A and B are shown apart, each in its own frame.
Chain A
């Protein structure tokens, strides 16, 4: 049981390049999330998907897009990377449907934009 799997684990981009961070969960969870974590700070919600077919903005959505490809997969896209997007990105999933269950996290993607 892999839980939440993120790829890649590390990435260096040049300013203006685009890339997609991939996330997949094998727990049949309904809700999925993307967070960013800057050094010495907490996790800020970028986008989330409460259920398959829906996506909503979180606290810091500017500069990002997401796709809930199916129930298992939730991708995060940076169309034109900026140095301010240098961060560690975490994907998470939870049972959702208003259920009181915790979110499970992937190991993170460390992104550097130069």
Chain B
């Protein structure tokens, strides 16, 4: 799911399959990364985070992978469910005194029953 044009990239998966959502971040000095889920008409909600001194972190049904060499994050959702349908954003925290939080473009996950 890379950002192109003005429309969100879409990932369509079958219920029960695993989903992988990708994100490229911009600042090599960013030290903290977060994945958010946004359902229609709502504000973003926290899913999982990872610090820059880690390359993998697991939660319940979700795993985040961080590759600092190529400034890439991925979110893996196991056994995708209809309730997982939403827009997913990665965010990077520039850290230090600035604490500036910048979002990526987002990916629409559509789960087919």
A positions within 8 Å CB-CB of B:
4, 30-31, 33, 35, 40-45, 48, 50, 56, 58-59, 90, 92, 94, 96-98, 100, 102-108
- Interface class of chain B by DSSP: loop
Most chain A beta-carbon contacts within 10 A, residue among B51, B91, B104: B91
Note all chain A residues with C-beta closer than 8 A to B44: 43, 90, 105
Residue on A nearest B50 in the bound complex, by CB: A100
B6 interface residue (CB < 8 Å to A): yes
With A100-B31, A102-B34, A103-B34 given, is the CB distance from A43 to B89 under 8 Å?
yes
In the bound complex, CA of A43 to CA of B98 (Å) = 18
In the bound complex, CA of A106 to CA of B38 (Å) = 12
Note all chain A residues with C-beta closer than 8 A to B105: 41-42
In the bound complex, CA of A41 to CA of B6 (Å) = 7
- Contact check, A35 vs B103: say whether CB atoms are below 8 A apart: yes
Residue on B nearest A35 in the bound complex, by CB: B103
B32 interface residue (CB < 8 Å to A): yes
